[in-house]
Amino acid sequence: MTTEVPEVSGGRRRPGRPPGRRPGAADTRGEILAAARRVFAEKGFDKATIRGIAREAGVDPALVHHYFDSKEGMFVAAMRLPMDPSSALPLILSGPREEVGERLVRFILTMTADPAAREPLLGLVRTAMVNEQAVGMVREFFTTAVLGRVAETLDVPPLRMEAAFAQLFGVVMTRYILRLEPMASADVEEIVALLGPTVQRYLGG
């Protein structure tokens, strides 16, 4: 199966495009996403702005906000990622503190169990492994929008949060890229029972 890898190469729109909804534009949202991919690739996640993406797409920033609630949501849509941190993290973080490790492991494994959800994510990871711009963009997104937000909410030192992430990342890579057995075919709940306590320890017990 061929994995569709999100576009991460640079690019520029033609000068002179007026802002706002362009007459005859068949897919304004799609054009904004294409512009977002270029801006994220060129500037990284942290330095990219809604205003800059709107300028690249030749539209008014208000139109960007019409389609996307946040920069994180736009990144998720542009890179075709399977989850938006703004909606997923509250589900993981709500509930007993002593069970957050288990919820986090179950969420990641359940999400990546769906081939349609995991392939864009794995495609982006593969691209990041060989593309300096892509790896910086992915690193900034996960550091700012995912790991930093969880660490702040749980009051966990960044090193512990990144250690927990490394555990989860390693399991996903082992299951779906290296496909090592028996990890590749193990039941989700079996891995949750095995890995949940370890992740919980990183997050403070």
Token output for 145: 């929008």
As a whole number of angstroms, the distance between CA 104 and CA 71 comes to 23
Grade residue 44 by pLDDT with cuts at 50, 70 and 90. Answer: confident
Is the confidence at residue 51, as pLDDT, over 90?
Answer: yes
Q: Which of 56-65, 73-82, 127-136, 157-166 has the lowest mean pLDDT?
A: 127-136
Q: What is the pLDDT of residue 157?
A: 93
- Residues near 36 by beta carbon (within 8 Å), at least 6 away in sequence: 48, 53, 56, 57, 74, 75, 77, 78
Q: What is the pLDDT of residue 62?
A: 93
As a whole number of angstroms, the distance between CA 3 and CA 27 comes to 23
Q: 111-153 pLDDT, tens per residue?
A: 888 888 888 888 888 888 888 878 888 888 888 888 888 899 8
Q: What is the pLDDT of residue 26?
A: 54
Is the confidence at residue 53, as pLDDT, over 60?
Answer: yes
| Greatest mean pLDDT among 23-27, 138-142, 159-163 | 159-163
Q: 174-202 pLDDT, tens per residue?
A: 999 899 999 999 999 999 999 999 999 99
Token output for 4: 């569709």
